[in-house]
Amino acid sequence: MSDQNGADQTRPTPTALPIVINAQYVKDFSFENPNAPQTLLPGQPAPQVSVGVDVRSQQVGDTLYEVVLEMRCEAKVGENTAFLVELSYAGLMTLQGLADEHIRPVLLIEGPRLLFPFARAIIADATRDGGYPPLMINPIDFSDLYRRQTAPTSTTA
């Protein structure tokens, strides 16, 4: 239905998102290239890369939270470490209008999902600047990571 000015009144009005990123920053960062130049010589086999991810959060104000995406990437050629990257990339986020039971999932799923592309770029740049092809980390299912972290653990007697 349109009013006299031709505006469409059937469209829902956009609502504000419950999460606002106030700041993003590198909290801690390390790149090690312990066996260079040997690992960079021509003819070296491709390194085996492992990637570890963790997410944590803390409340720093009434509706203000810090979300930290921690990533550790290690590349090995045989027993030798080619490179090691450790990054803690954080965001200062405001959450409003959420029920208490939704705050933790939003922080630990949506928070890192928003931070991930920036952390990925930092790691890709660091590995490239270290003499290797840029490490392009595949997208991460933070929803699945959250479910695994919060799943009840069974104990056996």
CA-closest candidate to residue 29, choices 140, 119, 136: 119
The structure tokens listed for 20 are 């606002």
pLDDT bracket for residue 152 (50, 70, 90): confident
Domains in the chain with CATH codes: 19-39+47-149 (3.10.420.10)
Task: Write down the pTM of the prediction.
Answer: 0.83
Stretch 127-135: mean pLDDT, rounded? 95
Stretch 60-74: mean pLDDT, rounded? 97
Report pLDDT digits (tens) over 81-107.
Answer: 999 999 999 999 999 888 889 999 999
The structure tokens listed for 59 are 């409340």
In angstroms, rounded to a whole number, what is the distance separating the alpha carbons of residues 49 and 8? Answer: 54
What mean pLDDT value characterizes the chain?
Answer: 89
Higher pLDDT, 143 or 10: 143
Whether 52 shows a pLDDT value over 90: the answer reads yes
